[in-house]
Amino acid sequence: MARPRVDEEDGGVVVIVALWLPVLVLFIIFVVDVGNWFVHKRHLQMQADAGALAGGGLFTFPCSDDPILGETRKYAGDPGNAAPYNLQVAPTDQANVHVLVNSDRYWNEGGTDFSDGGPPCAARMVDVKITEANLPWFFGLDVVPAINAHARVTIQALRQARGALPVAVPDVDPRLGRAYFVDEATGTVLASTPLTRVGTSNGLAVWDNAAAPVSVPVSSSRIGVRIALGGGSSTTCGSYLVVCYDLESSNGVVFVRGYSTAGSGAQPNPPVARDVRLFAASCPDGYFNATTSTCSIGVSAVVDFGVADPASVGARVSAVVGGTELPLTYDATSGRWVSTSYFGITPQAGPVGVELRWEETSGTVSGNACTTTGGNRCRGTFGVVQRTFSASEARSGPVRQVELLEGGVPGANSFPLGTTHDLVVRVAITGNLEVAQTVSDPLVELRVTGGSQNQSIDCDPNLPNLRDEIEQGCAPLYTINEGAPCPSTAPTLWASPQPWDCVAVQTGGAVGQLEQGMRARILGGSNSCTSPNNWASFPNIPADDPRIVPVFVSPFGTFTGSGNEVVPVTKFATFYVTGWFSSPCPNDDPVPDRGYVVGHFIQYVYVLNNGGGSGELCDFGAFGSCIAVLTE
């Protein structure tokens, strides 16, 4: 009889399988469902990213929420959209997907649209929070009741950029101002005073010294008031980043007459001109005007003929302004000779001298018998006794108003020699660079080539000329300067690591290179109009319009030196090109001359990867450029 085999183990396998098979099945179920959860989670994150990026790329100026929200929800796969993209993977019930925009919480946590900062334009961001509820579990475990995904694109001020046009636009916002009272005969500074920005008036920035009037000794018959504006730390004429007006002379933009009270104009002496003042007729002011059309001024003068009634010596007085001579009429009440017909002042004429002439027709002057005939020798000129100034870009730059006041009264431009007066200088200049507000805004001119005082820069040491820099844009990475000093030379700058916060000014440049470069950049090198001017559609300009170009902004006074400087980058701006010389596009705007580009500054949001954000939200009301940044 055979003994049982108590040591056999065949039945153990069955036991082990019976024990571990349920565990294996549960593990497979877990792996499959967790894998399904990961697939849904990853796809949900893709939906959130796509929605935030799509919406963030639609910020325009003026900003409109509806297209941003529509594109955000479409690309986020919102089932509430008419034709959503990126639907969640099957077998999801799409109604279980909930998309919230700018919500402080997810849908399953009670979140609602716009509870975090408001709609996109107000919040300057697109924040997408997506929840998928009732996740389809293959084996019904329902371990996770909902999954969430989040993405955010914020609109930030542009801090770093590539691809700019090789143009730097000087800011029209000086840091410092000063007025100099100069003896025009010797160049001696008689007095000076700092000017402080005190506010705005009619869109102009007003600077004055009203808080501390300056004591001015009237020790010269010809005193010019020079206005110095500085973009750095100096207001000394001739220093870097300092511009002094009148630009084309050592005189000032307004004139102060110093007259003698000595002597007598009684015959046989010739008459003596004393106080001479100017007054406005149709011009805003008698001494300084920035009108765009011809306006008129008058002359008022005290002339000493040595008699109570100038008619007793047959006195006549006339003034000559801009080549036109007109008689003045004697006013017995004020004792002044005054214009009753007026002198036209041409726009942009610069300084215009006021000459005073005299004649006596009775008695004897300097040994000559005075007559009423044409050969009368009792006549002469007092020379230029006053001056008016008609503003021009070439001579007075951004200055639009200059007044001298004493005791709060304007017109303090004529005083007796040897006296001292406490004067206030009030200056108004054009405000900061501004973006266009309407399609009919005035054209902005950029002078890109022609001499050392143009606005071109050498932004890319790897490109051989201005033409290539215009066509290809500035490849190096530039960033905004926060106050650091710039290298003294361009090679030193180019040898430093990027990003560069300074840029080299470029001298000269052939106008032909500008025209070739613009055709290459805007028209793809074509001689026909392949990229028409879309300015008539402003503000609805296509985002990919090649006429949209970034430019640098540099400090006030940048282009007043030799043209070999290295200057700070203070901002990035966006310019829409509407014309350049030789453009083949029939609806392009005309330019003043070769070497100019015309157009308008616009607010613009660059898409991702076109630069670096500053970390600060874009100020939609400020001058500058912005960029969409994926921050979460």
Confidence of residue 33 (pLDDT cuts 50, 70, 90): low
What per-residue confidence (pLDDT) applies to 421? 98
DSSP-assigned letter for residue 467 = H
Confidence of residue 464 (pLDDT cuts 50, 70, 90): confident
For residue 199, the tally of other CB atoms under 10 A from its CB is 9
Sign of the torsion formed by the C-alpha atoms of 109, 115, 121 and 123: negative
Q: Determine if the pTM surpasses 0.75.
A: no
Residue whose pair of structure tokens reads 């990853």 in the numeric block? 42
Side chain identity at residue 608, one-letter code: L
Least confident of 95-99, 164-168, 396-400, 556-560: 556-560
What per-residue confidence (pLDDT) applies to 477? 93
Residue whose pair of structure tokens reads 């306006």 in the numeric block? 295
Render pLDDT for 417-447 as a digit per residue (tens, 0 to 9): 999 999 999 999 987 788 888 999 989 888 8
Strands 254-259 and 414-416: parallel
**pLDDT for 223 beyond 90:** yes
Domain spans in the chain, listed from the N-terminal domain onward: 23-154, 172-253+395-431, 263-390, 434-609
Least confident of 99-113, 238-252, 365-379: 238-252
**pLDDT for 11 beyond 60:** no
Going along 391-505, which residue ranges are E strands?
399-406, 409-410, 414-416, 420-430, 444-447, 457-458, 478-479, 502-505
Confidence of residue 1 (pLDDT cuts 50, 70, 90): very low
Strands 336-339 and 364-365: unpaired
Q: What is the largest CA-CA distance in the chain?
A: 178
Least confident of 22-36, 362-376, 543-557: 22-36
Name the helix (H) or strand (E) containing 289.
strand 288-289
DSSP-assigned letter for residue 64 = -
Render pLDDT for 300-318 as a digit per residue (tens, 0 to 9): 999 999 999 999 999 999 9
Q: How far apart are CA 275 and CA 356, in angstroms?
A: 12
Q: How far apart are CA 404 and CA 426, in angstroms?
A: 6
pLDDT, mean over the chain: 88
Classify each residue of 40-74 as buried b or exposed e, where b means 16 or more C-beta atoms within 10 Å of its C-beta. Answer: bbebbbbbbbbbbbbbbbbbbbebbbeebbbbbbb
Q: How far apart are CA 116 and CA 103, in angstroms?
A: 5
Render pLDDT for 75-122 as a digit per residue (tens, 0 to 9): 988 888 877 888 877 767 788 889 999 999 999 999 999 999 999 999
3-class secondary-structure state, position 316: strand
CA angle 216, 221, 223 (to 5 degrees): 50
Name the helix (H) or strand (E) containing 121.
helix 120-123
What per-residue confidence (pLDDT) applies to 517? 92
| CA neighbor of 57 nearest in space, from 46, 47, 45, 67 | 67
More confident residue, 94 or 180: 180
- Domain 263-390: CATH architecture, name and number where available: Sandwich (2.60)
For residue 84, give both structure tokens. Answer: 């959503």
- The percent of residues in the chain predicted with pLDDT above 70, rounded, is 90
For residue 404, the tally of other CB atoms under 10 A from its CB is 24
Q: How far apart are CA 459 and CA 46, in angstroms?
A: 39
- The percent of residues in the chain predicted with pLDDT above 90, rounded, is 57
| CA neighbor of 451 nearest in space, from 395, 512, 510, 394 | 510
Classify each residue of 586-608 as buried b or exposed e, where b means 16 or more C-beta atoms within 10 Å of its C-beta. Answer: eebbebeebbbbbbbbbbbbbbe
More confident residue, 412 or 433: 412
